[in-house]
Amino acid sequence: MWPKDPENGASSGSGSDWMGGDPNVFKDKPWRPLTRTTNIPAAILSPYRLIILARMVVLIFFLKWRVENPNDDAMWLWGMSVVCEIWFAFSWLLDQLPKLFPINRVADLDILKEKFETPSKDNPTGKSDLPGIDMFVSTADPEKEPPLVTANTILSILACNYPVDKLSCYVSDDGGSLLTFEAMAEAASFAE
């Protein structure tokens, strides 16, 4: 439930563009959205929409041809294939509809820091209020999964922009390889 806007008594969260545009619009409000929507350029989106439209037209012509030309020798097989093709066409269409009007959301890091890491009435110490995250990396065979790749994965996890005391990374080596253990020890010493 959005707080009422004191100027006109309307809900501040109503409207289609409350998360888009300039983030400074919300500077004086008691709440600020943690994300913003970003527009996808028409140069990227329009060709994709044209390809989807062309595929839909071809699909409609194919299904029309399939229904109008039954196979009299194996009517049950023809009927089953028509039902399956219509079902797959429907599921493909449902998969494509959200892609016609995609929404990109970008986290506003300044607002996140202000909300979760600054001293306030609810958080007097200013210690991070973000939840703890546990990341599990599993590996089995150092020949199929080189320890360097596993070490890079762990270092990438530990390098993310998240409070250090809230992020944990666990490695599960099902193969129990000494090579993997030594590589993880080196990665841990480098991460410090």
Provide the whole-model pTM.
0.48
Residue 121 assigned as binding residue: no
Residue 138 assigned as binding residue: yes
Distance CA 82, CA 24 (A): 55
Higher pLDDT, 10 or 94: 94
Which tokens hold the place of 133? 């995250």
Confidence label for 31 from pLDDT (cuts 50, 70 and 90) = confident
- Every domain of the chain and the residues it spans: 38-99, 131-191
Q: Would you tell me how many other CB atoms lie within 10 Å of the CB of residue 115?
A: 17
Which tokens hold the place of 75? 């009517």
Tens digits of per-residue pLDDT, 65-87?
999 999 889 899 999 999 999 99
Distance CA 136, CA 173 (A): 11
Average pLDDT of the segment spanning 110-134: 78
Question: What's the chain's average pLDDT?
Answer: 82
Distance CA 38, CA 129 (A): 27
Residue 145 assigned as binding residue: yes
Distance CA 96, CA 102 (A): 10
Residue 120 assigned as binding residue: no
Question: What pairing do the DSSP bridges indicate for beta strands 167-173 and 104-107?
Answer: unpaired
pLDDT value for 19: 47
* Alpha helices (runs of H) in the chain, residue ranges in sequence order: 42-68, 75-100, 109-117, 147-158, 178-191
First CA to last CA distance, the chain? 43
9 pLDDT higher than 60: no
pLDDT value for 54: 96
Length of the chain: 192
Q: What percent of the chain has pLDDT over 90?
A: 32
